[in-house]
Amino acid sequence: MPSSVDKAIISNRAALIKKYGAAGATAIYSKLQDLIQHDQARGIASSVFDIDDAKAMTAVNGSAVVNELDERGAKAAVDAVQSQHNCDYILLLDGPDVIPHINLTPPTGLNDADPIIPSDLPYASPAAYGKQVSKYLVVTRVVGRLPAAVGESDPQKLIKLLDHAINHRSASADGFGALFSMSADAWKASTQLSLVSVFGNHNGLHLSPPDGHNGIDHSLSGSVHLINCHGASGDWRFYGQKGNVYPTAMESSLVGAAALPKGGLVAAECCYGAELYNYSLLGVAMPMCLTYLGAGTAAYVGSTNIAYGPAASNAMADLICQYFLEKAMKGASTGRAFLEARQLFIQTQVMSTPQNAKTLAQFNLYGDPSLLPVNVPADAGDELLSKSMADTMTPRDDYVERKANRIALESNGRSVAALSTKASVKLPQEAANGLEAVARFKELASKMGMNGPIDVYSVTGGTEFRRANKGIQDDRKIAVTTREGERLLGTGPEAKKVPSYKVVIGHILRDGIFKIDECESK
């Protein structure tokens, strides 16, 4: 193990043997050595840390995990590795049956069908283990996951992803001009806004209905994919919408059969777009995220459960995906791009909005976080981008630049968390009903078609927020009302009913409402 580790590959040997057998695990570790050698040639010192290995964990002043589903132990193990080595990248190897997601509690004020939020966010934070999203608003680490599906038995699936990381080559910014975007017709305005924000235009946008396979297959060769559709648990399809019709827009098996580009970027706003379900047990096709990764996609950002956003503007899922694509296309590694996206989301959004807190937790990065999709001038990236650049930049120069970036991100992560907000105590109904601003919110919500119960919560936040809040001698509050419905996704015998949610949030200061958020489930 090198004394200085730039990239920590977090694994669990016992879990890999349990999942793939001894021979399969051996093949995976052999391929990991190839990745480590490749990283060394890039100026990145990588090392594998088996968190079930007592000797390896003792070396970083940590404790070995006994069970592969031990969330607390896995989080503590990653913290120990990071504390010892101050790594620039953390790569979680395989799915949540090897390195678990941390199953977070839904934020205060959230009212939907998800009992937990499977998340990799806690691994990106120095905060101690806990179940509340608000514990992890200090986000300072570059983290990505290279996963196979839960229950996968073929080690070649994971080995193939490692091969893609080894064979990855950056492309010029011009090579990322080709765009594919699929949107539900009902969210056309929102998707157009996202595309204009990232690309300056909305060329390459397909709408469902009417679009779908085979008409879109030629467009799948685009280097960047932004998908704003409906999704469902255990489902390999994404769905469009027009009125109350929800046709199939994309299927993972058909996407995999198309000419997907190597080294591309994918951001999927859909519900369950990054769920790593056991497709063998369910007897269905592979998850969309794994189809993309298996084809050589460099990075896939998506949600593990029900995601949110507005129909005609940008917020929540729209923004976390936008921010990631913007940063990656400016030359950041995929992991740094996602860390910067998380920090920017916390900085610019009101985190006491329950759906904002859920968005932060539920969107994960799949792929080796050290990969650089876009080749930019030397002063804009944070690794050696190409052989020609390597001729003009020493590995030590690159190391210093990368470390400087991480120090800045560490500082920024702590600063934005100190200013952020979170929903806190629910007010008794009688007290809430007596507030003038709540009565006004009820009127506004009714005009928006929301006539259900209204819950009101006090708002607190980080140290700087509390200091400022004390200065105005008044507490902020949020009022939340949720309407649950039902959607029938798809057509024919494979159509499925799923819950849908529309939410309106009012932000209250003293006796006034200073902001209204409206969103719906993806």
pLDDT in tens, 66-76: 999 999 999 99
Tell me how long the chain is. Answer: 522
| Main-chain phi, psi angles of 153, to 5 degrees | -115, -10
Report CA Rg, the chain: 23
Q: What is the pLDDT of residue 392?
A: 30
Question: How far apart, in whole angstroms, are the C-alpha atoms of residue 474 and residue 470?
Answer: 7
Q: What is the β-pairing status of strands 476-489 and 496-509?
A: antiparallel
- What average pLDDT score do residues 394-401 get? 59
How far does Cα 46 stand from its chain's mean position? 23
Condensed to tens digits (0 to 9), the pLDDT of residues 420-453 reads 999 999 999 988 888 999 999 999 999 999 999 9
Q: What is the pLDDT of residue 177?
A: 66
How far does Cα 508 stand from its chain's mean position? 29
The region of weakest confidence among 174-178, 284-288, 291-295, 353-357 is 174-178
pTM for the structure as a whole: 0.94
Question: How far apart, in whole angstroms, are the C-alpha atoms of residue 122 and residue 129?
Answer: 7
How far does Cα 176 stand from its chain's mean position? 21
pLDDT at 402 over 60: yes
Q: What is the pLDDT of residue 471?
A: 63
